[in-house]
Amino acid sequence: MKIVLIGIQGSGKSTQGNLLSKKLKIPYLSTGHIFRELAKERTNLGRYIKEVMNAGYLIPDDKTLEIVSEYLKRDEYKNGYILDGFPRTPLQAKAFKNGIDKVIYLKVSDKEALWRLSLRNDGEGREDDTLRAIHKRIELFHKFTEPVLSFYKKIGELVEIDGEADIKIIHRQILKVLGVA
């Protein structure tokens, strides 16, 4: 099964992605995690990604498609995956031809996302979690990612879930939508 989780930063994508991964026994792949790992590398690509992320911008479409496509060629993803943070733009959604089964949109208000992120302390020491960068990513979500929702809705792959509900309720709703409840 190939699943995409979409939602504003702080919507619970990683929480639900990890729960689904355990339940469905397919790997969870977060593009944010991939980019943060690459940003630690002392390479031109690593420095570039770090600068872009710390400014709160999105990694360009061509670079994102290239990186995600490379990861999905690995053996661990041949039987399916849960993607978090991709596709983020209409161009990425249209260019990504990988037989997605469902796109789950975890709908959370900006206010709720900011509140959750202000409380988040995941020990990662993420440099890209400054208030300015978070506000910028929320703005970019509305500008670039909301049209992705329209794209998937039009082709019948989008399911909207109330991301402000209890974690267990959200998880049960997703499993029901996937037909594995």
CATH number at residue 118: 3.40.50.300
Going 130 to 135 to 140 to 145, the CA torsion angle's sign is: positive
pLDDT computed for residue 116 by the predictor? 82
The predicted model gives 3-8 an average pLDDT of 95
Q: Is 121's pLDDT higher than 60?
A: no
User: Residue 39 has which token pair?
Assistant: 């940003």
What angle separates helix 13-24 from helix 167-178, to the nearest 10 degrees? 50
Counted domains in the chain: 1
Q: What digits encode the pLDDT tens for the residues 53-96?
A: 888 787 899 999 988 888 888 899 999 999 998 998 899 999 99
pTM for the whole thing? 0.83
Domain holding 172, by residue range, is 2-178
